């Protein structure tokens, strides 16, 4: 299609018309499923209703209902409109032809309770133009509308498994399989990638029987395959939320009649209850994927170890100082004592030699000249527990299964807050999408080079299953020497980075498991 031709494409539900902007066709807000409202609330996604004529898709659609972030650090520049009618996707493509380009399918993060595929940081023109690939970004149901296990609590009156948000992702992948060729993409060469809860979703998709064959490669960023609730924990969270609402758990009509505002208020209260010391809901993410035995048969990493992701090449990694983003939002961190450090680590890691772990981190950091205050030690341990160790275990697991896995560690330091954020959570996103800016990410020749390196590697991986590229050079698969690409002001391949800290986890049984 020439640049002067209208951007009209026929999908399985009808024709859509997007925009052409500086070499990229952009389609915003294509419905990939029917609105999950009314009687469809908490049910698996259903096909979108067909339409006649040409449907304009030139503006981003509404996002899933969510509460505003607790910190301005995480807030979007402008709030996006929300609605339960949220199952839409966006496509960025260099051409509407039969070129069969690699497809990058993005799953946004946000703790399974916030975020959207239309966030400005994910705007796809830069990566699609640089790599000649097709980018798809999606919305999926979040929080109490996407991860509430209602089938047990309602005695089957509402058969929600607690994985409806994951089912939305799978349904969007099926839409891509059936439609992406018309947008210049190759339905047989799809790479799923995501960050934080999006990376954890990628890990879950690797374990889900219903998603097998819908993608060929996977890139979980800052979130691997260790995050899922047990049924018991999910049921406790669901009961706690319903108790807050003051509605009978067996009154399906009353539950479906609840306004989204009431649900979001109850979700906020649930998060507070979960964070309270001694809570039987458990801290962290009270609303997340559930090991229900059907959609998600077992903890994702265990399914992968049994072969669920055999043949799927994986590129996995984390940021060096993930937890610093959360530390700056915790006023108590500045006053943390050694005793409080020990108690927090004991809550985080109930079994194993926590004192030995702390001392191992202290010794390793002291040797490098890194700070060893209680706050710095806790941040480093939290980072590795939640992000780096699960990534390493996933790479090891795929290696042992005979499927290539590639490892990275993102080390660029944010200029924000006089450097206090370090190489924090979510910092790599602007570089990956080429949307890095002055305040949070940093700009300049070094930043531009890092962005190009990451885009080239991710695109090479999407095209061939190997992230080696001209700008970064040869990137070998993860092996016995723990080959890892450092991505920062100077990007380079190293062996076994931060190995002393990694070895310290060998004495902690199941430390990176995300079940409760």
> Which amino acids are annotated catalytic?
196, 322, 425
Structure tokens at 485: 């690409």
Closest CA to 388 of 414, 407, 369, 416: 407
Q: How many CB atoms lie within 10 A of CB 515?
A: 17
Tell me the pairing of strands 101-107 and 217-221.
Answer: unpaired
Task: Compute the distance between CA of residue 434 and CA of residue 430 in angstroms, rounded to an integer.
Answer: 6
Q: With 0-12 CB in 10 A as exposed, 13-18 as middle and 19+ as buried, what is 322?
A: buried
Q: Which residues of 212-225 are buried (b: 16+ CB within 10 A; e: fewer)?
A: eebbbbbbbbbbbb
Would you say the C-alpha torsion 418, 423, 426, 432 has a positive or negative sign? positive
Q: Rounded to the nearest 5 degrees, what angle is found at the Cα of 186, between the Cα atoms of 184 and 187?
A: 125
- Cα of first residue to Cα of last residue in the chain, in angstroms, is 52
Residue 28 parent element (H or E): strand 24-31
**What contacts 232, CB < 8 A, 6 or more positions away?**
none
At which residue do the structure tokens 């970004």 appear?
137
Q: How far is CA 322 from the centre of its chain?
A: 14
Phi, psi of 162 (to 5 degrees): 90, 5
* 3-class secondary structure, 24: strand
Task: Compute the distance between CA of residue 407 and CA of residue 482 in angstroms, rounded to an integer.
Answer: 8
Q: How many CB atoms lie within 10 A of CB 371?
A: 11
Residue 463 parent element (H or E): helix 445-464
Task: Compute the distance between CA of residue 14 and CA of residue 25 in angstroms, rounded to an integer.
Answer: 18
- List, in sequence order, every beta strand (DSSP E) within 35-155: 54-56, 88-93, 101-107, 134-138
* 3-class secondary structure, 93: strand
Q: With 0-12 CB in 10 A as exposed, 13-18 as middle and 19+ as buried, what is 415?
A: middle
């Amino acid at each position: 299609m020439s640049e002067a031709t209208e951007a009209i494409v026929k999908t399985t539900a009808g024709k859509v018309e997007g925009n052409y902007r500086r070499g990229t066709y952009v389609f915003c807000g294509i419905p990939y499923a029917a609105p999950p409202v009314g009687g469809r609330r908490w049910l698996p996604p259903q096909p979108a209703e067909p339409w006649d004529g040409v449907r304009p898709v030139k503006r981003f659609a509404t996002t899933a209902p969510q509460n505003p972030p607790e910190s301005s650090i995480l807030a979007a520049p402008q709030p996006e409109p929300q609605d339960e009618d949220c199952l839409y996707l966006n496509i960025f493509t260099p051409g509407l032809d039969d070129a069969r380009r690699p497809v990058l399918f993005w799953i946004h993060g946000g703790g399974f309770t916030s975020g959207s595929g239309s966030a400005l940081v994910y705007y796809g023109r830069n990566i699609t133009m640089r790599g000649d690939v097709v980018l798809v970004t999606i919305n999926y149901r979040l929080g109490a509308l996407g991860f509430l296990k209602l089938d047990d609590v309602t005695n089957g009156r509402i058969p929600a498994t607690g994985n409806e948000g994951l089912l939305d992702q799978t349904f969007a992948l099926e839409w891509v399989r059936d439609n992406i060729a018309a947008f210049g993409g190759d339905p047989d060469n799809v790479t799923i990638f995501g960050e934080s809860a999006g990376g954890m979703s990628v890990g879950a998709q690797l374990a889900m029987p219903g998603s097998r064959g819908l993608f060929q490669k996977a890139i979980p960023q800052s979130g691997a395959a260790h995050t899922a609730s047990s049924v018991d924990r999910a049921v406790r969270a669901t009961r706690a939320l319903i108790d807050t609402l003051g509605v009978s758990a067996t009154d399906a009509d009353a539950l479906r009649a609840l306004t989204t505002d009431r649900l979001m208020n109850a979700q906020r209260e649930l998060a507070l209850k979960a964070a309270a010391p001694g809570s039987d809901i458990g801290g962290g993410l009270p609303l997340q994927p559930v090991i229900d035995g059907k959609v998600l048969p077992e903890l994702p990493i265990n399914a992968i170890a049994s072969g669920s992701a055999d043949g799927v090449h994986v590129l996995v990694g984390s940021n060096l100082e993930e937890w610093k983003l959360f530390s700056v939002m915790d006023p108590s961190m500045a006053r943390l004592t050694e005793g409080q450090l020990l108690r927090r680590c004991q809550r985080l890691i109930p079994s194993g030699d926590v004192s030995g772990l702390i001392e191992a981190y202290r010794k390793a950091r002291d040797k490098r000249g890194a700070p060893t205050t209680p706050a710095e030690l806790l941040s480093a341990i939290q980072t590795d527990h939640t992000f780096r160790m699960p990534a390493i275990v996933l790479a090891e697991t795929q290696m042992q299964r005979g499927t290539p896995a590639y490892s990275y560690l993102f080390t660029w330091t944010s200029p924000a807050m006089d450097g206090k954020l370090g190489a924090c959570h979510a910092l790599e996103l602007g570089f990956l999408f080429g949307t890095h800016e002055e305040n949070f990410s940093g700009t300049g020749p070094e930043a531009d080079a890092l962005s190009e390196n990451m885009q080239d590697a991710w695109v090479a991986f999407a095209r061939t299953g190997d992230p080696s590229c001209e700008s970064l050079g040869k990137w070998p698969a993860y092996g016995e020497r723990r080959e890892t690409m450092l991505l920062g002001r100077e990007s380079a391949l190293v062996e076994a980075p931060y190995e002393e800290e990694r070895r310290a986890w060998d004495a902690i049984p199941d430390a990176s498991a995300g079940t409760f």
